[in-house]
Amino acid sequence: MAVDRDALIRLYRGQGMPEADAIRKAHQGSQRAPEEEDDAPETPVRPEDADAADDSAGTRRFVVVTKDFTGLGWAKKLDEEGEDVTLATDYSEEEDPKLKEQMMRVGEGWLPVVQLSEAVKTLQSDNTIWIFAENCFVEEAEKLIEAGQKVFPPSITLGEKMEHDRDFAVGVAEDAGLPSPPTHEFSSRDEGLKFLDANKSTAYVMKINDNKFNFQTFVPNARTEADAHEQLYVYLKYMDDEPTDYILQERIPIEDALEVNVELWFFEGEPFLATLGLEVKRKNTYDVGEMTGCAGDFTQFIPLDSPLVEKTIGKLGDFYREQKYTGFADVNVIFTKDNQPHFLEVCNRFGYNSHPNMFLGLCRDNFGDVIADYLDGNVSDMASRFRTEIGCSLTLFIDHPRPGLPIFVKPDAEEQFYTFDGLKKEDQLLMTGYSDEIGIFLTRGKDIQEAWDKMADAVAMKEKVIFPDIYYRWDLAEDNYYNAPILRYQELKKRGLLK
């Protein structure tokens, strides 16, 4: 599709570019070979994206591949570090016409965004590093790897299978000695109801295999087993759409549960870093409201030989060693009162808040340099590139996102803010309306309380990031609800799982 050269010149001049440079850049962006136009995607080409495929021989280039723009923050981070960075996505993945329109504006006037198929054709080079921000577009990743491109994580195929093939992941975990709570699979409403009729004294969580949104996982919030059982039974009986391919998993009583995420970083099957993650998944203070990916968390690098590592993700070490796995590998587990960990799930990718917490809150070095060295196997001193403090993350929400709402970020807080949404006009950050999670703010401290105090001061008192209708949890360091991170951290210490 042809690009208006005069419009490009006006755009670049409006961004403060000298006229000669604007003309040159616009000329490059508007020139396309006929055969390229025939193969071009139907998605409109935005002026600021038109030159994203320019050759940058000799200069390191990053392409952040993202399905839903949760990778936007990595592109922002790389741009702040002065790297050459392009975002790549596939707009056809978004089926809602209104959301697609908003999705296509993410990055506008700010960061170059291209269709993934176009990126694969035009951005391959010896100096390109492809970062897959989620376990997505595995076929494209495999083609890039086969073509000799640097892809992070290079073991994305296994990572995707571990995350999305529940039976496979459960089998791997159980074979390694990490059992999951009793789980039962069903393919119809009647099957599930009959099962619940026969097990009235047990509470269950319902997970539909093709859930698109986190809130669609049904977790009964009634405290007693009988009341929680009834909640799920009535929900399943009267839900409008007939569920297919879902599981019912025994709910471990919240007062008995100690939930934790433990992660290892592997290079060719050998672990070299370990982290602890304590996250809260409900949107509202005191652990109420809808489920989300992560409303906030505390993250810390911990010794590889910690008992916590050995009792959880460490059990899968032989499996990942056999696979010569390179990338992140984690497990979410719940410890019961008998100190037995129960496997829930894996993520094995740039996950929710934990990795922004690591790379924006705890990393001493540039994100781009760490990823480049990780891919090259320069990992022997990787621990020295991260702080040993505790990182705190806080997700900033809006219930009804609208295009054009302004997002204000204080200049001294830019590097602490990981974005999920945004476009720019005259250097002002604005919402596109595509996401109700606008971004994550990051702080750190010597302990949970100090990290949270810095967070509360930055977000609420100093308004380092603010936008209309903003809300966030206000209880991350409190100890008056069962799932409180500080209570879980103290319990891990008490049980001797953390040194």
Residue 296 belongs to domain with CATH number: 3.30.470.20
Whether the per-residue pLDDT at 31 is higher than 60: the answer is: no
Same domain for 35 and 78?
yes
Mean pLDDT of 47-51: 50
Same domain for 281 and 223?
no
Whether the per-residue pLDDT at 70 is higher than 90: the answer is: yes
Residues 49, 11 contacting (CB under 8 angstroms): no
Same domain for 274 and 148?
no
What is the model's pLDDT at position 245?
Answer: 84
Residues 101, 43 contacting (CB under 8 angstroms): no
Question: Is omega for the bond preceding 153 within 30 degrees of 0, making it cis?
Answer: yes
CA distances from 449 to 329, 390, 397, 443, 463 (A): 28, 10, 23, 11, 19
What is the model's pLDDT at position 17?
Answer: 55
What is the model's pLDDT at position 32?
Answer: 37
CA distance 43 to 3: 13
Same domain for 297 and 332?
yes
* Average pLDDT score over the chain: 89
421, part of any domain: no
Mean pLDDT of 208-234: 83
174, part of any domain: no
Higher pLDDT, 46 or 196: 196
Lowest mean pLDDT among 45-54, 142-151, 244-253: 45-54
What is the model's pLDDT at position 11?
Answer: 55
Higher pLDDT, 313 or 35: 313
pLDDT digits (tens, 9 = 90+) for 72-108: 999 999 999 999 999 999 999 999 999 999 999 999 9
What is the model's pLDDT at position 176?
Answer: 97
Range of the domain at 270: 258-399+436-494
Whether the per-residue pLDDT at 213 is higher than 50: the answer is: yes
Q: Which of 234, 251, 268 is the last residue of a domain?
A: 251
Same domain for 355 and 478?
yes
Same domain for 238 and 301?
no
Same domain for 124 and 242?
no
Whether the per-residue pLDDT at 480 is higher than 80: the answer is: yes
What is the model's pLDDT at position 351?
Answer: 80
Whether the per-residue pLDDT at 33 is higher than 90: the answer is: no
Same domain for 229 and 292?
no
Q: How confident is the model at residue 211 (pLDDT cuts 50, 70, 90)?
A: low
Higher pLDDT, 258 or 46: 258
Q: Which of 251, 278, 302 is the last residue of a domain?
A: 251
What is the model's pLDDT at position 40?
Answer: 38
Same domain for 373 and 275?
yes
Same domain for 237 and 281?
no
CA distances from 312 to 35, 166, 263, 463, 498 (A): 53, 17, 9, 39, 12
Whether the per-residue pLDDT at 37 is higher than 60: the answer is: no
Q: How confident is the model at residue 390 (pLDDT cuts 50, 70, 90)?
A: very high
Residues 485, 448 contacting (CB under 8 angstroms): yes
Q: How confident is the model at residue 44 (pLDDT cuts 50, 70, 90)?
A: very low
Task: Express as a percent the part of the chain with pLDDT over 70.
Answer: 87
Number of separate domains in the chain? 3
pLDDT digits (tens, 9 = 90+) for 399-434: 999 999 999 999 999 999 999 999 999 999 999 999
pLDDT digits (tens, 9 = 90+) for 241-250: 888 789 999 9
65, part of any domain: yes
